[in-house]
Structure formats: C-alpha cells, structure tokens
Structure 1
Amino acid sequence: MLQRISQLVVVGVIAGLLVAALALPAVGGLGITARNVASGFLDMPSNLETPPPPQRSTIYDSEGGVIAEIFDQNRELVELDDVSPLMVDAILAIEDARFYEHGGLDVSGTLRAAVRTMGGNTEGASSITQQYVKNVQIEAATSQEELDHAREESIARKIRELRYAVALEQRMSKDEILEGYLNIAYFSDGAYGVESAAQHFFQVPASDLELHQAATIAGLVRYPYLYNPRFFPDQTIERRNVVLDRMVATGAVTEAEAEEAKSEGMDLDLDTPPNGCVPSDQPFFCDYVVQEIEQDERFGPNETERARWLRTAGLEIHTTLDPQTQEAGQAAVDKWVPRENESRKVAAEVVIEPGTGHILGMVQSRNYGPDESKLGETSINFATDADRGGSSGFQAGSTFKAITLAAALDEGLPFSTSFNSPTSVSVSGQRSCNGGTLATWTPSNSGDTRSNTTHNMVSGTKASSNTYFAQLQRQVGICDVMEMAETLGLQRADGTKFTENENSLANSSFTLGSEEVSPLRVSNAYATFASGGMYCEPQAISQIEDRQSGTTIDIEPECSRAIDEDVADGVAYLLSQTFNGGTASSLGIGRPTAGKTGTTDGSAAAWFAGFTPQMAGAVFVGDPRGPQQHPLRNVTIGDRHFGVVYGATIPGPIWQETMRGAHEGVEVEQLPSAPGRFGSTSGPRAPEPDDEASPASDDGGVPNVVGQPENDAVAALQAAGYSVNVSQTRVRSGEPEGSVAAVNPDPGTRLPEGATVNVFLSNGGGTASGTGPDEDWLPVQPAHLPHGRDGD
C-alpha cells in the first residue's frame, strides 16, 4: 500500500511539473524545475507501435461455412461507429470522464487519486490513453521478460506509459484511441474487446447494447476477475450501479434512467464461441489445416511463430473442403463403423479432386478428443501422415496393384502381358534398389485356385490375382515399382521413402501393399490416374486473409506431370474393369468408375480406393491398436458380425455411399477409353477343354446352384464342403424371385474345405446384362481367405 501511495504521489508530481513545463513560462525555480523534468521526459523513447490486437482466426469450407475458430483471445474488432453511444458514455464515465479534454495526462485526476489514496481510499490514476498504452505493450510482448516489463508495478513503468500517452495523443485522434482501447481491453470471463463482451454476456452486437448492459460491461474493466458476472453476480451488480451513478454525474443519463437501469436483472446469456477443432463438426480436417499452417515455412520462420500467427492474426482461412462430400463421407463411415463400436475398429477416408489436389473430404469414425482411453475418442488423424497429426500408417493391400500396373505400362508392356497364375507361385531373382537379390517369395491367391489359370493385365486386375501381380512385379522390377509409387506421391506414413527404407527393400510383397501408408496418399495417387497423369500436392487451404496485416495469400495448386497420359488412362481402364465382373462389381455408383479393393495379409486391414473423373477417394478400415494383433476376423462392428472383412465388405460400401452423395448434382463424365498403344483389351486365351474346371464340378469345385431355391442351394453347397453366406441384399436377375441369382466365387472354382461361398438371391427384377454405369447388380464379397494370404 505504501508503495502504491508513493507511486501515485510521484507520478502526480511529475504530471504536474509536465503541465507546468508545457503550459507556463520558465519563471522562477518552479519553471526551471518543470522545464528540466519535461526536457528529460520528452527525450524518452516515444514511438509506440499500435498494431491491431490479437483476434479470432476463422476456418471456412469451400462454400463459406465456418469449420472452426482458433484463438488465444476471444476478440472481434469493431469500429467506434458500431459501438452503442451508451457504451461509450459508460466507459468514459467510469474510466476517464475528461478523456476528450486532456492531452493524455489527466493531471487533476492523477493528483486527486494520489490525495485520496494517501487518505486511505485507493483510486486508479490512469487515463484511457495510458490504459491503452499498457494493453498495447502487454499484447506486443513476445517473451515473459517483455510481459513482466509491461506489467511491473513501478514508477518507471508509469512514467514510460505517460511518455507514450503524450506521443500517442499527438499522432492519433481521440476517437482512434478510444476505438483501440475498446477493442483491446479485457472485459472478464475470456471476452476481449467490447464486441466480444457484448456477444459473450448478452448475445447482442456492441451496437445494440442497452443502458444496463453497457454499464455492466464498462464496470468489468477495473477488476475483470473480481467483477466476473459468472462467479460474482452481486459484486457485478454493485459495480454496474456505480457506473450508472457516474453516468448521472457526467450528464450522460438522467437519474430516472439510471434508476430504471438499476432495476434490471443481470439478464446474462453467456455464449463463448467454440475454440479450436474439438467442438468442430469437421474436427480432423480442421486439425489437418492447423497442422498445415504450423508446419509450413511459408507462414513463419518457426513453428512457434506460425502457431502465434494462426491464433492472433484474425486470419480468414478458406479451405478446399466440400461440405457435400464431407457430409456424405462422414455419414458413410459412421454407418459402417460406428464411432463407439466395441471392437474398436476405425474407418478413415479422404476424397481428393483430380487435377488440383484439393481435399474435398477427410473423415474418420471417431470423436475428436485427447483421451485415447475413452471408447470412440482420439486426437490422431488416421487419414493422414504422422507429420500432419496422423499415425504411422497401415498396409494398403491390393490397392498397390495399381502402382504395378502403372510401372508396367510405363515400361511399354501391353495389356496382353500374361502369366500362368496358379494358387501359389515361387518368385525368385527380384533385385532391390541397392542391387541386392531378394529371397525367394511364395505368394498365394485366395479364391481362384485352378492350377493353370492364365491371366493378362485385364483379367488379372479383375480377379486381383496375387500370383499374377507377383510375376508382373518381377518382370517390371520391384525397384521400378517402388519408384513409380514415389512418383505418384506415395511414401510411408512415417515420412520415409520406399526406396530409402532398408526394410522395404527386403520386402518382396510391395505390389500386394505391404507398406504402411495413409488414405491421403493413396487417394492422391489414384487422383493422379484420374487426372491423366498430372500429380498435384494434396491441398487443404486455398486462401488466407490476414486481417491484422491486411494481406492476402492465395495458394494455387502445385501440379506437374508425373506419368504419361496414356499410362494413366491405361491404368484407369484396367481399374474400371473391376466394376465389370471383378472384385468391385457390387460397388458401382451409376456413373463411370475405376477402383481397387485391398485386404492385407491375415486380414489386418481392408481398403478400397477408386475414382471418377471428378473425385478420387481411399477408405481404410482397421484397428489402430495394432492391425496384426487385432485383425478383421470374427468381429462384430456395430450390429453386424463379420467372419472376415475384405475390401469389398466395408471399405467398398463406404466409398460407394460417399461417392454417390458427393456426386449428387455433379455432371456425369466418362473415363478415358483404353489407349491403343497397349494393344487388345481382351482376356487371355481360354484354357484347353480338358484343363478347364467344369462349371458344375462336384470334385471340389463350387456347385452351380444358380436358379435353385435358397434351401436347395444351401444344402448343395454345404454338401460340397463349403460354408454358406446368404446375402441380405437381393439383386436384379432374370431368375425367379427368391431363387439364387449368383454365387461368388463362380461355379467351378475350387476352394479350400470350409471356405465361404456367398449366395445372392434374385429380386425378380429382370435380367442384368450389358456394360456401363448401371452394371452394379452383383454384390461381390471375396471368398474365404486362408490365414496369411492377401484377400483382394
């Protein structure tokens, strides 16, 4: 208390001497002393920068919808003309009634405060200009040392503030100073600035504040914590009434008006804008945007500065997120893999626009939050790489076969490139990128087990034959396939390149998707095929408007040609065939599509990646606790039980439903036709009759039960040694309603004993025939997957 009294006395004396120096002639000792004090005072540094105070940054989707607000301080700047005159009168009455009369130093007020304080009645002594100066210095502090300097209780600080106040009054108008003060002041309970305070306490703009509301807010400035209406309503009301009495004394309102305002209740309607990504409806995309800004050197010299810029500069961050795509994707993942499913499985999906790299959707079946032990909650974005808040990735399964196709076509191999593709095959002689010879590898198929099946690129892709792609990879060269993956932007989710990772170099099964990657990278690689070979960096932000500096940063797509257009179109054609009697036959969306299922070794994870000319998407389903330790076998997800989850079982339908919703209202475009340079698109030469399995084989092959009643068909299949799964979805077929429309695998296919045969019943809706966008009649679920084999 004694220190506070002495400070006020000294400051009051200095203020008096300054006024004497500035207003009186140098006569006698008083004049000389005053001139000396003023001379030293005016020689002090006075150039105080007054940048806009910290304010909220806002993230928008591509249509202008708010995704999230990010801030250190809940503040929205407002012009003085947009502040209620009652609010202006209230703040002047309680803080600085002579504001428009003095020149930054309210000498009489300072001396009066000193006298009253010495008498035991403590009173503040700062003018609004001085308070503004103090707040500016606090907000401009970039270190704890600078912050302590701005807040220290000392005569030196008071004198500095006086000097800055005098200089400020010479270069800023009174209205400009008052506007700055009203925007920078702290009004309690997390509300900075008068606009945020009005919105927070009364849910009205500052322009609409009524008398009792304005007096309440003005009274908070002196002791924001003591007068916090949330916790101390009685003290707040007492303080409000003091403000009203001051307004009467200054003539701002009549005594009757003040008494009426005093009769009003607090009428609080507290509303704090959600801060950060946790409360957002698009939390994982929001987190990705935050990561993009904090990690990108374009936005600041270091991560600390970039994070500060994001949370204080009042940025308007416009993103590429398409709300229609996002909504469709979120609904699909939540439907198929509910957020709080007891199996703890997760689905994650990314949709990208070919030709721009724009991220149109980024979803996963989890709530966003820090408590990883809480069912259904995580802060890890499984859709992206580790350096953007993601995981270390998941094996992508047969979605990588598309990479092998691209490498093969890039080397000039034709569609007719054929190999005998039996149940299993030994692959030797593969050489890694460092020149070493890899050990002999023996991959196996999961469904088509005929010993002498011959596949070319068309039929091998349709059937997703592991043994075909193993041999194609050997012919192309595993290092060339890895380099093609990197050309398409693929890398391990931990940030390492395939060709630089020693473990990858020893991994023969690259073509079967043995590397841990993110859905973002897989989706973007498929977007490159869809765009005719143009690779674009994934892009979430299109523009940033910096309201603090008044600058705008436009972020254009970063695109370049990665592969020849014919190569991309050739891959697109091959992948489109999976919807035409291949592993994606049930996943059409009523327009031209191309895609690939993927199931990893041991059913650790399941994928689907595919595209139209306008959108590419990749879906992952697995267990973040460890896919190998918690595989997709004998699991109940939501209210559905699955013996095995394949790429066409859950990821495929998620992709399908996302794409259907995302393409509503979007013009239908055609995929490119097969480039002539790669030759015929026909299947391989049919096996000789004596080598071909009979369609109605009873020696281990799947019996032909098409057209039979359900019970008869099930009995026949069980008698042949197979488990039977009757699909709940009936399909369009020329067979009588309720009879068998199709089985998968096809009749005649030999399977291991106990393998599952999927039966699809007819809805009696007519023959499904022809090709094109409507040929999605046959829901295909790959057959039983023996342990240790890739399923797609």
Structure 2
Amino acid sequence: MLLVAAVLGVVVAGLAIPFAGVVGFSARNVAESVDDLPQELETEQLPQRTEIEDINGKTIATLYDQNRVNVPLRQISRTMVEAIVAIEDFRFYQHGALDLKGTMRALLTNQASGGVAQGGSSITQQLVKLTLLNQADTDEERKAATDDTYGRKLRELRYAIALEKRHSKDWILERYLNTAYFGDGAYGVQAAAQHYFSVNAKDLNLRQAALLGGLVQSPEAYNPTKNPAQATVRRNIVLDRMAQLNVVSEADADAAKAKKLGLKVKNQPNGCLNSGAQFFCDYVVRWLMTDDALGATTQDRKRLIFNGGLTIRTTIDMRYQRAAQQGVSGQVYKGDQAVGALALIEPGTGNVKALAQSRPMGTRKGETFLNYVVPKKYGDANGAQAGSTFKAFVLAAAISQGIPLTKTFPAPNPGYFPENKFETCDGPYQSSGVWEPKNSTSSSANPNLYEGTRNSVNTFFVNLELATGICEPYKLAKQMGIRSLTKDNIKPSFTLGVVDVSPLDMAEAYSTFAARGLHCDARPVTQIADAQGNVLKKYDKQCTQVLASPVADAVSDVLRGVVEPGGFGSALNPGQPAAGKTGTTNGNYSVWFAGYTPNLAGAAMVAGVKPNGNQQTLDGKSIGGYVRASTAGSTTAGPMWGDAFKAIAPLLPDENFVRPSSTDVAGLLVTVPPVAGKTYDDARAELEALGFTVARGGSVDSRLARGLISYSSPGAGGQLATGDTVTLYPSDGSPAKPKGNGKGKKGKGKKGRGNG
C-alpha cells in the first residue's frame, strides 16, 4: 500500500488532475488518505430487464431501466473475452488491482501530450467506477463516481484492491462484461450482442467481438448505428492489438478488417407501450405494484419489477387477446367520441384472458394512457354506469330466497314506487320520495323471471327488488367482484345499475354464474421468477363459493334466454351454449353486454367520452364508422362481445350449462352450520358429512387460539347445495390489529361471515 501510495503521489497528479502536484499532495498525504477509505465495495445485483410472458411462456413485453441480461463467463465467447482484455487491460491476469506498468505508461503518454490522452485504469478499477456509477441513487453520488479528482482515484483503487482480494479474476471479468455500457441502450455483453448482431454472447465471432470490445472506451462516439466510420476505425484498432499480442493471427485480423461491420440491429422494446397487449401489460405492472411482498415501499416494488430481471408469467392467451382487440376495434374506432372496452375472464380460476379497448396507448390523437377496462385503482379511469347488467344480482338474490322462476310480478309503465318501501341493510330506505321509473322495452303485464329478464323490463325488476330487498343483491354483487360498491349504492335504483363499474369487475362477477356460484378474484399473474429462474412467488387462485350451485345454474338458465332466439342478444350467440345480459343507461351515456359460456366470461362496454374526458351520450355520435341515432347494449356493446366470442369459440371445450332442478332451488339447499372455535379437522368432518366440499383458506387474525377456525365462507346460516365449497379460515392466534395502524397484514377484514 505504501508503494502504491508513493506511486499515486505522482500518478494521480498526472492522470486525474495534471497540476495537483503543485498544490501540496505528497506520498505521506496519499498514504494517510488511503488508510482512511472504506475497504469493501458492496456489489449489488445489476439491473436487468424483466420479461412479461403470456400463458404459454412467450414474451409479450419487456421492462427495464437498463437493457441488460446477465450471463456467466462460460456463456461469453472466448473471442469476446480475448478482445476486451487485449484492448482494455492485456496484462489483466498478471497484475493486481493496479497495473503499475500501464499506469506509468499512461502517465508518460499524457505528459508528452500535455493532457489526458491515455487512461491507466485496470479492468478492476474500471469495474469499480462502473459499479459506483450504477449504484448511485442521487446526482451527488453520480458526480462523485465520475469526477476526475484525487479522492475518486484513491477510493477506486482501495475498492479495486478489495475486489481482487475477495473475488477471482474470472469473476471480475464476468462482472465487468455484464456491467459495461456498449452504447445504443445496450448494457452488458449479452444485450449488446443481441442488439447489434441478433446473436447471443456465446456466439460472437472475431469481427463482432472486436467491434464490441472497442465500444466500451466511448460507447456513443463509436456507436456503429450512428457513426459507422469511427466504429470501423475503432474495431480495426482492436483487431490490430489482438494480432500484436498474438491472440489472433495477422491474416485473421486482416480478413476481419476487410469486412463490413455486419450489423443486424434488433431493438429491444421497452415498456407496455411496445407490447401487443398494452393495457393488459399495464394492468399487470400496476397489480403487482400493490403487492407488499415485492417490497416495503412503492419505490422498492418498482425497482424490483423494472430492474430485477424477473420473469412474470401471466394468464393472458394472445389468441383471445387478438380476438378481443379485433372485436373492439371493429366496432369502435380510436377517434370516436366513445371508448369501447372488453374484458375476458376464465370461470373457476379468475384468470384474466384478455383486455382490449378501442383507444390504443399513447399521446397522439385517438390515444390514451387511461385504462378503461380495469378498476380505477389499476387504470385511472372512473368506469361507467353499468345499467341493467345489475339486474342479474337481483335475479340471483331472488332465486336464493326461494322465489320460483315462474313467479310473476307487475310491470307497469311507468311505475309508482314509494322509496321508503325498499328494505336496505339497515331497515327501510330513508326517503319520503316516490320513484317513477319507465320501461324501455315491452312485455306482458305480469312477466315471470324468465320473461322479465329476457326483455329487461325495468319495473318488473323494481318489483322484484321490493321482494328481495336491496341488501342481499348489494352484498352479492360485492362478493362477486364489484369492489367499487359503497353503502351509498344501497338505494332503490340499484337494480338499474350503479356508476363507476369497470368491464373487468363485471366480467369477474358474471364468471361466478358460469362457475356455478364459485367466485374467483381476477388474477393476471400466476408466478414470478428471478433472473436465475427461482420462483419468488406464486399467485394461487383465490376462490370462494358465494352462490349455491343450483342458484347459479338457475340464473344461467334465465340469462340464456337473452342470447337465444327471441332474446335481445340472439345475434351475438357464438355457436355454443351462452348466457348474458344487456345494459343500457338513462341518456345512453354507456351501454353494456355481459355474457358467458360455461368456460369463458366477458363484459363489453361502450361509453361516451368527450375530448376533455367527461362522459356524454352516445346517441347521435359516429361510432364505428356511422352515426348512431340511438344506442343499446345489444346493438352497440354486444357486437364487440359477439365478434370476440365467435372467434374464440373454436378454442373452447364443448361444455353445457347444468339445467336447474326446481326441487333443488325450492327446498334441497343445505344450511352451513357454525364452525367457529372448532379444530380444522372437526369442522371439515362436520361439513363433509353434510355433503360440502371443504377448502382451507389462509390464517387470519383472531382472538381464538392458533389453529381453531375463526370463520367460514359462506358463513353460518348460508345455504348451498351438496358438493358446493365451504372455505375455512383458521386463527393465527393474534388479535386483529386496530384500524389505522397501516399494517393490514393478515386480517383481511372478512366481515359478515356469520361465524365470528
């Protein structure tokens, strides 16, 4: 160290700050300064690009701050290794952290030129500089990593010595080749090989390796895509150096110099904007950003997602995505004063199969960064009024309460309904007003559940809601996935739809009917793996039986009438058993169609949007190439759903709905018993004896002893059919944390389950 310090007393002055020697630096000063510096350099994981894959493992998007893919030294061609060592530090394997000969040679060259004409840094010293720059979080740290100062040179040297002590030469060279910037956005030799030549680093030949080896000195000055002449000169310098060192023969070097650069540039798309599924990609990123398991803060999670070299396996099927996008784009054009959106979900898993909207991602006219398909939490758009698609929740509640499908209710036009006659979760609705809704469709004077639903008769459903109360349909809609609902929505108009609903939430809800009452949370990601292929986290499906299967079967049987001959959506039938519901709002500000087959559910929405983002009526607007005098769920939103499902139908298994039994609905449902406080085995045995299927949920905060059942879902008193699933949630032995502590860890606030 004293020898190094003595040399540096002269060398640093000559290389870094040419006149420093005259202001009092001495060997003693240098030695003391070196001893004061930290002795270790923490080499953090290098930023690497993240790949988002579809359900089949094909990349649909790449995310990165630095386009880098780490590779081990054995996966870098020997020629590439020889080229970089020859031009940057040919004595790399002979000297230590400091190449004294190279440093003195650079000093003499610089003195002769009167400036800094040649660098004397070893590959290890260069790696230190690159590492400090790469790990700098602030402008001050970045400046400190690049300043030509006495202090930086000393710090780099001390760190370089530490690296040489801790790591092998091969490790240092591998790290250097993966860290170095090769220009044109390519970090590391693998990304550079793929970018400039469309090959992997292990396949680089002499001509290619020499070009890349020459780039690290000045990546932009020698950038072959912008400065091919300078790049050629620099490549030939590397080839001459390799021949001079007998790494290659002069004949091979001359042959390589006689050839053109041989570029085959392949740009690596970055971000969701360049994806074939732009808004699905954006949804995946924002969905993962809410997962505390990926980092304590939003910034930590973002850093991992964009720099962690992750492989994110998603649920999207690009065949479905293309069909969905074509269905939307064919019906609503991007420049229309309306937005078309369609979400597809797989019943029984919650897998999000496709998300499509009419306005592509971007800043040009007819483009947007608002994701209208997903909830505001993930897309910044407010959603739209869902119209008569909400009638399905009242229908399901009625069937759950034992109202026969053949029961009739009056359908006056207009209706006359005192609002205090409607029951909420807290008693009669507090209003002295009278609601007078009108029918936009015709029917008999007293339709039954089949006719009233097929014709979407408003006052029929208002009377049905009087019979069911508002509370149960409201709770059911929340359980089925309409998370935007609040207690403010518990009002008589609930059955005709509420505001701020997204197509994804509606598709999730209707998939519950298709899955025979089993609700599964929307799931865009199945697992995340790190850069080494180790699975960091799996995202299992989250499913709960919220409707008795015979009730869901009965709903499907009623909704089939909408897409069968005589129904409003008969033209949309995809050629497979299907069910659905139209939705049209007052003023036609938005129109909907939500429907499903036994194995795929989807919700389509068209909403009028002004240039300033505010909603407006669709009537009189040009949509899909012609002016619509009037709009409706079946004729405006429905065709998007129909076109997509007709294209996808050949890919779906041939399945049929289960026909409901009147006896099942009327009296053979089984009541879920109270199981709170019992052991898991005892609770499971009791439930299985009644014919239920039992699933185990995650542990939850509870005052009960660890392992005892805190509650079930559905809770005690709920009614299901034999074979339906009851999920048990064991206690983790810790009481629920007070609200407002910001933790919100295990206890998810499962309220109203009925089992304590």
* TM tier relative to shorter chain: 0.7 to 0.9
Please report the TM-score for the alignment, with normalisation by the length of structure 1: 0.76
Greater shift, 474-483 or 670-679, is seen at 670-679
Provide the residue aligned with 2:713 in structure 1.
none
Provide the residue aligned with 2:652 in structure 1.
666
C-alpha distance in 1 between matches for 2:600 and 2:464: 28
Q: Is the 8 A contact 2:193 2:204 kept in 1?
A: yes
Provide the residue aligned with 1:779 in structure 2.
none
C-alpha distance in 2 between matches for 1:257 and 1:233: 21
Please report the TM-score for the alignment, with normalisation by the length of structure 2: 0.80
C-alpha distance in 2 between matches for 1:239 and 1:419: 86
Provide the residue aligned with 1:498 in structure 2.
486
Offset of residue 414 of structure 1: 2.5
Deviations 1:86-112 (A, max 9, x none): 222221111101001012221211222
Q: Is the 8 A contact 2:314 2:524 kept in 1?
A: yes
Q: Is the 8 A contact 1:86 1:209 kept in 2?
A: yes
1:79 to 72, 75, 78: 72
Percent identity over paired residues:
42
2:450 to 442, 455, 458: 458
C-alpha distance in 2 between matches for 1:545 and 1:7: 50
C-alpha distance in 1 between matches for 2:107 and 2:95: 18
Provide the residue aligned with 2:22 in structure 1.
none
Equivalences for residues 538-549 of structure 1 within 5 A: 538-547=522-531
Offset of residue 244 of structure 1: 2.3
Deviations 1:256-281 (A, max 9, x none): 33333333333333322111111211
Give the direction of change, closer, same or farther, for the CA distance of 1:570–1:634 in structure 2 (3 Å limit): same
Provide the residue aligned with 1:106 in structure 2.
99
Gaps of 5+ in 1: 1-5, 16-32, 681-792
Aligned residues between the structures: 645
2:270 to 261, 267, 275: 275
Offset of residue 11 of structure 1: 7.0
The reply on whether 1:476 has 2:471 as its aligned counterpart is: no
Q: Is the 8 A contact 1:8 1:110 kept in 2?
A: no
Q: Is the 8 A contact 1:199 1:271 kept in 2?
A: yes
Give the direction of change, closer, same or farther, for the CA distance of 1:361–1:141 in structure 2 (3 Å limit): same
Deviations 1:160-180 (A, max 9, x none): 222222222233222221111
AA paired with 2:479?
T
C-alpha distance in 2 between matches for 1:185 and 1:8: 28
The reply on whether 1:69 has 2:62 as its aligned counterpart is: yes
Offset of residue 39 of structure 1: 9.6
Greater shift, 550-559 or 350-359, is seen at 550-559
Q: Is the 8 A contact 2:550 2:665 kept in 1?
A: no
C-alpha distance in 2 between matches for 1:393 and 1:383: 8
AA paired with 2:71?
V
The reply on whether 1:569 has 2:557 as its aligned counterpart is: no
The reply on whether 1:467 has 2:459 as its aligned counterpart is: yes
- Secondary structure at the aligned position of 1:547 is classed as coil
Equivalences for residues 119-518 of structure 1 within 5 A: 119=112, 120=114, 122=116, 123-340=118-335, 343-371=336-364, 374-375=365-366, 377-428=367-418, 429=420, 430-433=422-425, 436-438=429-431, 439-448=433-442, 453-492=445-484, 497-499=485-487, 501=488, 504-505=489-490, 507-518=491-502
Greater shift, 668-677 or 381-390, is seen at 668-677
- Secondary structure at the aligned position of 1:597 is classed as strand
Give the direction of change, closer, same or farther, for the CA distance of 1:383–1:449 in structure 2 (3 Å limit): same
Give the direction of change, closer, same or farther, for the CA distance of 1:63–1:549 in structure 2 (3 Å limit): closer
Offset of residue 75 of structure 1: 1.2
Give the direction of change, closer, same or farther, for the CA distance of 1:8–1:567 in structure 2 (3 Å limit): farther
Greater shift, 660-669 or 596-605, is seen at 660-669
Offset of residue 36 of structure 1: 12
- Secondary structure at the aligned position of 1:455 is classed as coil
Provide the residue aligned with 1:594 in structure 2.
579
Greater shift, 326-335 or 548-557, is seen at 548-557
Deviations 1:70-90 (A, max 9, x none): 111111222222323222222
Give the direction of change, closer, same or farther, for the CA distance of 1:66–1:247 in structure 2 (3 Å limit): same
C-alpha distance in 2 between matches for 1:350 and 1:525: 12
Provide the residue aligned with 2:507 in structure 1.
523
C-alpha distance in 1 between matches for 2:560 and 2:361: 35
Deviations 1:587-607 (A, max 9, x none): 222222111011111222111
C-alpha distance in 2 between matches for 1:39 and 1:156: 12
Give the direction of change, closer, same or farther, for the CA distance of 1:623–1:52 in structure 2 (3 Å limit): same
- Secondary structure at the aligned position of 1:136 is classed as helix
- Secondary structure at the aligned position of 1:616 is classed as strand
Q: Is the 8 A contact 1:532 1:569 kept in 2?
A: yes
Q: Is the 8 A contact 1:84 1:209 kept in 2?
A: yes
C-alpha distance in 1 between matches for 2:386 and 2:499: 7
Q: Is the 8 A contact 1:395 1:517 kept in 2?
A: yes
Give the direction of change, closer, same or farther, for the CA distance of 1:37–1:679 in structure 2 (3 Å limit): closer
C-alpha distance in 1 between matches for 2:279 and 2:438: 38
Provide the residue aligned with 2:690 in structure 1.
none
Deviations 1:281-314 (A, max 9, x none): 1111011111112222221111111111111111
Offset of residue 145 of structure 1: 4.0
Provide the residue aligned with 1:620 in structure 2.
605
The reply on whether 1:88 has 2:101 as its aligned counterpart is: no
- Secondary structure at the aligned position of 1:663 is classed as helix
Q: Is the 8 A contact 2:337 2:621 kept in 1?
A: no
- Give the structure with higher Rg (CA): 1
Provide the residue aligned with 1:585 in structure 2.
570
Give the alignment's Cα RMSD to 1 decimal.
Answer: 2.9
AA paired with 1:240?
R
Q: Is the 8 A contact 1:69 1:274 kept in 2?
A: yes
Q: Is the 8 A contact 2:11 2:107 kept in 1?
A: yes
- Secondary structure at the aligned position of 1:437 is classed as coil
C-alpha distance in 1 between matches for 2:210 and 2:93: 20
- Secondary structure at the aligned position of 2:435 is classed as coil
Q: Is the 8 A contact 2:409 2:460 kept in 1?
A: yes
Q: Is the 8 A contact 2:337 2:622 kept in 1?
A: no
- Secondary structure at the aligned position of 1:514 is classed as coil
Greater shift, 628-637 or 82-91, is seen at 628-637
Q: Is the 8 A contact 1:416 1:679 kept in 2?
A: no
Deviations 1:732-781 (A, max 9, x none): xxxxxxxxxxxxxxxxxxxxxxxxxxxxxxxxxxxxxxxxxxxxxxxxxx
Give the direction of change, closer, same or farther, for the CA distance of 1:182–1:11 in structure 2 (3 Å limit): farther
Offset of residue 547 of structure 1: 1.0
Deviations 1:176-226 (A, max 9, x none): 211111111001111111121122222232233333322221111112232
Q: Is the 8 A contact 2:443 2:455 kept in 1?
A: no
AA paired with 1:647?
G
C-alpha distance in 2 between matches for 1:419 and 1:643: 33
Q: Is the 8 A contact 1:106 1:127 kept in 2?
A: yes
C-alpha distance in 2 between matches for 1:323 and 1:333: 15
Q: Is the 8 A contact 2:591 2:637 kept in 1?
A: yes
Offset of residue 40 of structure 1: 8.1
AA paired with 2:274?
P
Give the direction of change, closer, same or farther, for the CA distance of 1:551–1:318 in structure 2 (3 Å limit): closer
C-alpha distance in 2 between matches for 1:510 and 1:664: 37
Offset of residue 229 of structure 1: 2.5
- Secondary structure at the aligned position of 2:629 is classed as strand
- Secondary structure at the aligned position of 1:101 is classed as coil
AA paired with 1:613?
P
Give the direction of change, closer, same or farther, for the CA distance of 1:254–1:42 in structure 2 (3 Å limit): farther
Provide the residue aligned with 1:642 in structure 2.
628
